[in-house]
Structure 1
Amino acid sequence: MTRGIEEGVTETREDGTRVLHYLLRFPQPVENVWAAVATSDGLGGWLAAAEVFEPRLGGAVTLRGIGSGRITAWDVERIAEYTVEGRGRIRFHLEPTRPSGTTVRFTHESPRDEDPGWRQRFEHLSAYVEGTP
């Protein structure tokens, strides 16, 4: 099993869109994981430099090498969703787990069929959240 990633990624198709679901578990609290997936510094630490990042519903986001789009769902410390032109929608849904961990239900909806490399990216996320990027 990849560090922090629960086995059993699922893939479905909905109206020609590829939908990937991952279940990620971290021993760190929600606020630490939130900082990694929903802040400019956090995203830059494991995914891509956030050249533009407006942390609010409808805010602009530009991730270097990935593309530009909007924040299409935003519920502080629970849901961060980014829709990037040509790349689809990525969604992080955070849930606290006992005693102090975090479960992330991650979804990527994309019109593309190629492997987006999420497993490797989640390795970087796990290391970032652990404080050893």
Structure 2
Amino acid sequence: MSLVSHATSERRGENHWLLRFELHLPYSYEALWHAVTTPDGLRGWLAAADVLERHLGGAVTLRWLNTATVASGHVSAWDVERVAEYTLAGLGRIRFHLEAVGTDSTVIRFVNERGGSDEARLDCLAAWHEHFELLEAALSGRPTDWSTWTDSRWAGLRASYASFGQARKAS
């Protein structure tokens, strides 16, 4: 069973969204910090970090190995072992806030503030959801083999987010 639950999203103006995930993972914050702030860590679940200057204002270029998307930007917040935030052209602001719970558990509060249509919002919710499932797998010793990745899991999540949105509109 996945430890990743559905995200929330809220409109922040016309074609502007705030996507939020909160994950409670049974791993130390040191392991999670490594996964969200180092090239080796990021490659196992999210993207290749072609450039990653690990300090406030540093340059960042991420290349998604499943879609060939490349996004460059800068480190817009950096609080060692607590907050890593990257602002990337076309993808907006992505922020990872880590909070240790004891010695072997961590809460990740993730925010992606971005532009785009409602359809793009659903695409991104599904993509982040899948990537967080891949993070969970990478932390348990199963980093993603991008050569075998397919979009079938993403498609199922995309349909789930779309139906969840329709159900909320109906109520």
TM-score interval (norm. to shorter):
over 0.9
**How far, CA to CA, are the matches of 2:7 and 2:91 in structure 1?**
19
Highest relative contact order (Cα 8 Å, sep 6+), 1 or 2?
Answer: 1
**Does the CA contact (< 8 Å) of 1:82 and 1:90 recur in 2?**
yes
Query: Which residue of 2 is the match for residue 50 of structure 1?
Result: 49
Query: Which residue of 1 is the match for residue 134 of structure 2?
Result: 124
**Does the CA contact (< 8 Å) of 1:77 and 1:94 recur in 2?**
yes
Q: Does 1:13 align with 2:11?
A: yes
Please report the TM-score for the alignment, with normalisation by the length of structure 2: 0.73
More strand by share: 1
Residue ranges of structure 2 left out of the alignment (5+ in a row): 64-68, 144-171
Query: Which residue of 2 is the match for residue 29 of structure 1?
Result: 28
**How far, CA to CA, are the matches of 1:107 and 1:36 in structure 2?**
16
**Does the CA contact (< 8 Å) of 1:69 and 1:83 recur in 2?**
yes
**How far, CA to CA, are the matches of 2:17 and 2:6 in structure 1?**
16
**How far, CA to CA, are the matches of 1:69 and 1:95 in structure 2?**
25
> How far off is 1:4 after superposition?
2.5
**Does the CA contact (< 8 Å) of 1:66 and 1:87 recur in 2?**
no
Matched position secondary structure for 1:46: coil
Deviations 1:53-91 (A, max 9, x none): 100000000001240000000011100000001110100
> How far off is 1:112 after superposition?
1.8
Residue ranges of structure 1 left out of the alignment (5+ in a row): none
Give runs of ≥4 in structure 1 deviating > 3 Å: none
More helix by share: 2
Matched position secondary structure for 2:31: helix
**Does the CA contact (< 8 Å) of 1:30 and 1:96 recur in 2?**
yes
* TM-aligned CA distance change 1:66 to 1:25, over 3 Å: farther
> How far off is 1:129 after superposition?
1.2
CA RMSD, Structure 1 to Structure 2 (Å): 1.3
Q: Does 1:85 align with 2:84?
A: no
* Worse-matched range after superposition: 21-30 or 112-121: 112-121
